[in-house]
Structure 1
């Protein structure tokens, strides 16, 4: 069992608190990434989707996971379970300093998460307090105008990594 923390950063212009729409523990938010088999090293062709509200029973076990699948190359089973309460939003100051923020922790058995995909369902708040809901980051950036603050807002240069957590 290895725990991986999804860490994200981005360039935030006049925005703060970038996170999934319902917060870091949003049960409806879908995390998409590829998985690498711990046995043969095969990386999945397509992204795997996991969310907190969907759990599956693990065969030959009393436990459950948010993902259970077999490696297409070697046939080994692997699971991914999400661990709530470890994430936080990306703030403006973290963005300015280039620091990564933890978003979600994954308990992985037989798989390693790789290549997180930014998609839709994000939110952020302008430095003037305007909330931008349902931000789609699938194109790699977001640009809008904050009427209240009378300034442009932007998210760009999205980056993510998975770090091993002990």
Structure 2
């Protein structure tokens, strides 16, 4: 069992608190990434999708994903662990710091290559909320009429850090 923390950062211009639409533990937010088999090293050709509402019975408990390797037939599981995510703030962004978004308990697989998709929210430094932000194109550009300033999200980066 290895726990991986999904860490994100981005350049936030006149914005703060980048996070999934309903907060870091939003049950309807979809996480997309590839998986690497812990046995043979094979990487899934397509991204898998994980969501807190997807629960699969497994063994004596349950998990969010059970994936069988197409190459070696070994089974791996991924269970999402809530309560550890935080929004990316403007200060963290300015210093290029990463913030944890979600923790994954992985058995037999390793997460790789997180894809930013849709369903994000962010707030301008003037207090205007932007919901349903789509980051699949790699950036978000808008104008905050209340604050009378341009807002932008760019240079999106993500990594999976092993938690000890």
TM-score normalized by the length of structure 1: 0.98
2:156 maps to: 158
1:137 maps to: 135
Per the TM alignment, residue 63 of structure 1 is displaced from its structure 2 partner at its CA by: 1.6
Q: For 1:9, what is the secondary structure of its paired residue?
A: strand
1:52 maps to: 52
- Structure 2 residues without counterparts, runs of 5 or longer: none
1:78 maps to: 76
Q: For 1:57, what is the secondary structure of its paired residue?
A: strand
Per the TM alignment, residue 53 of structure 1 is displaced from its structure 2 partner at its CA by: 0.9
Q: For 2:9, what is the secondary structure of its paired residue?
A: strand
Alignment of 1:1-166 (within 5 A): 1-58=1-58, 61-166=59-164
- Structure 1 residues without counterparts, runs of 5 or longer: none
Per the TM alignment, residue 73 of structure 1 is displaced from its structure 2 partner at its CA by: 0.5
Per the TM alignment, residue 29 of structure 1 is displaced from its structure 2 partner at its CA by: 0.1
Tell me how far apart the structure 1 counterparts of residues 67 and 2 of structure 2 sit (CA, whole Å).
17
Computed over aligned residues only, the root mean square deviation of the Cα atoms, in angstroms, reads 0.4
Runs of 4+ in 1 over 6 A off after TM superposition: none
Tell me how far apart the structure 2 counterparts of residues 67 and 54 of structure 1 sit (CA, whole Å).
8
Per the TM alignment, residue 108 of structure 1 is displaced from its structure 2 partner at its CA by: 0.2
Tell me how far apart the structure 2 counterparts of residues 145 and 66 of structure 1 sit (CA, whole Å).
38
Tell me how far apart the structure 2 counterparts of residues 158 and 69 of structure 1 sit (CA, whole Å).
28
Per the TM alignment, residue 110 of structure 1 is displaced from its structure 2 partner at its CA by: 0.3
1:7-57 deviations in whole A, cap 9, x for unaligned? Answer: 000000000000000000000000000000000000000000001111001
Q: For 1:95, what is the secondary structure of its paired residue?
A: helix
Tell me how far apart the structure 1 counterparts of residues 76 and 49 of structure 2 sit (CA, whole Å).
14
Per the TM alignment, residue 87 of structure 1 is displaced from its structure 2 partner at its CA by: 0.3
Tell me how far apart the structure 1 counterparts of residues 150 and 43 of structure 2 sit (CA, whole Å).
39
Tell me how far apart the structure 1 counterparts of residues 148 and 126 of structure 2 sit (CA, whole Å).
9
